[in-house]
């Protein structure tokens, strides 16, 4: 069996296992970044499945990632919430990093919300700002579509003009306005990690047009578009990037800020889902 067929069969096997757990076809899937997993508590009639019970699904090992899939109802929609993801900096290749996205697309999910904790490059974004991702820059050192293309998933050269769907962004803006919350907008740049960026790197990233920086989201967005899914991206700015403030960066700070804004973050997601 070719590597292409083996990967395809693994994705199909994971999707079949989830169908057997009667998760149905959710209207939307939400990938929850570091410290943002409490959103799952808003789902009614939840079915929680640890990642370890889904064949082939990689385990999440980062602090702040619970490592389970929760499917339930919210705002009249069936929602699949992924509490945690895996990252390339953990040693995974990009096909493993995007395995969950492939499974979600195979289940028939057409809308994917990608969220993350990010460092603020734009000095107008203080800690706790929620930023709507309008576009991204891929500086992660690779692309999940590298290698032979599997036409069963998507075309060889997918268009990336509108990675983050204008329709979904408009709904998120409406939801923020209705909740009287401030919603930033900007460009997210993905780097490999796990080390935080140097001040010189942040100056470079600001020069090329980035507003926030993180270590996830970009591969998932690329694969989702490859499969024809609509994507919405939201960053929680949990800290100023290196050199913006005269203090070192700390993952504990990321977790603390994410916990502080989780109510506002969850309200934004719920308001957007209710408008789908």
Catalytic site residue 8? no
Catalytic site residue 117? yes
Nearest CA to 43 among 241, 239, 273?
Answer: 273
User: Max CA-CA distance within the chain?
Assistant: 55
Catalytic site residue 192? no
**Catalytic: which of 60, 216, 235, 266?**
216
φ, ψ at 188 (rounded to 5°): -100, 135
Catalytic site residue 90? yes
**Catalytic: which of 117, 118, 131, 175?**
117
**Catalytic: which of 66, 73, 90, 253?**
90
What does the alpha-carbon distance between residue 89 and residue 92 come to, in Å, rounded to a whole number?
A: 7
Catalytic site residue 134? no
**Catalytic: which of 134, 138, 165, 251?**
251
**Catalytic: which of 89, 165, 255, 259?**
89
Q: Is 129 exposed, middle or buried (0-12, 13-18, 19+ CB in 10 A)?
A: buried
**Catalytic: which of 215, 221, 227, 241?**
215
**Catalytic: which of 87, 127, 226, 241?**
87
Catalytic site residue 136? no
**Catalytic: which of 7, 65, 140, 224?**
65
**Catalytic: which of 14, 15, 34, 230?**
34
Among all residues, which ones are annotated catalytic? 34, 65, 87, 89-90, 117, 215-216, 239, 251
């Amino acid at each position: 069996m070719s590597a292409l067929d083996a990967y395809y069969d693994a994705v199909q096997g994971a999707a079949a296992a989830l169908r057997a757990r009667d998760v149905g076809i959710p209207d939307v899937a939400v990938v929850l970044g570091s410290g943002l997993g409490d959103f799952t508590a808003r789902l009614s009639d939840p079915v929680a499945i640890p990642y370890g019970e889904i064949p082939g699904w990689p385990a999440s090992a980062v602090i702040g990632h619970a490592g389970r899939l929760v499917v339930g109802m919210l705002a009249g929609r069936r929602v699949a919430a992924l509490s945690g993801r895996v990252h390339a900096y953990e040693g995974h290749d990009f096909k493993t990093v995007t395995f969950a996205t492939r499974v979600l697309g195979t289940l028939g999910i057409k809308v994917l919300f990608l969220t993350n904790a990010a460092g603020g490059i734009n000095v107008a974004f203080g800690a706790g700002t929620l930023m709507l991702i309008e576009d991204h820059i891929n500086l992660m050192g690779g692309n999940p579509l590298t290698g032979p293309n599997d036409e069963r998933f998507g075309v060889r050269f997918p268009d990336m003009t509108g990675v983050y769907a204008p329709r979904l962004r408009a709904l998120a803006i409406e939801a923020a306005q209705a909740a009287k919350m401030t919603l930033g907008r900007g460009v997210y740049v993905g780097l490999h990690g796990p080390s935080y960026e140097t001040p010189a790197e942040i100056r470079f990233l600001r020069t090329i047009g980035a507003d926030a920086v993180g270590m996830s989201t970009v591969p998932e967005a690329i694969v989702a578009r490859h499969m024809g899914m609509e994507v919405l991206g939201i960053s929680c700015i949990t800290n100023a990037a290196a050199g913006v403030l005269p203090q070192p960066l700390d993952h504990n700070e990321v977790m603390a800020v994410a916990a502080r804004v989780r109510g506002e973050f969850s309200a934004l997601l719920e308001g957007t889902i209710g408008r789908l």
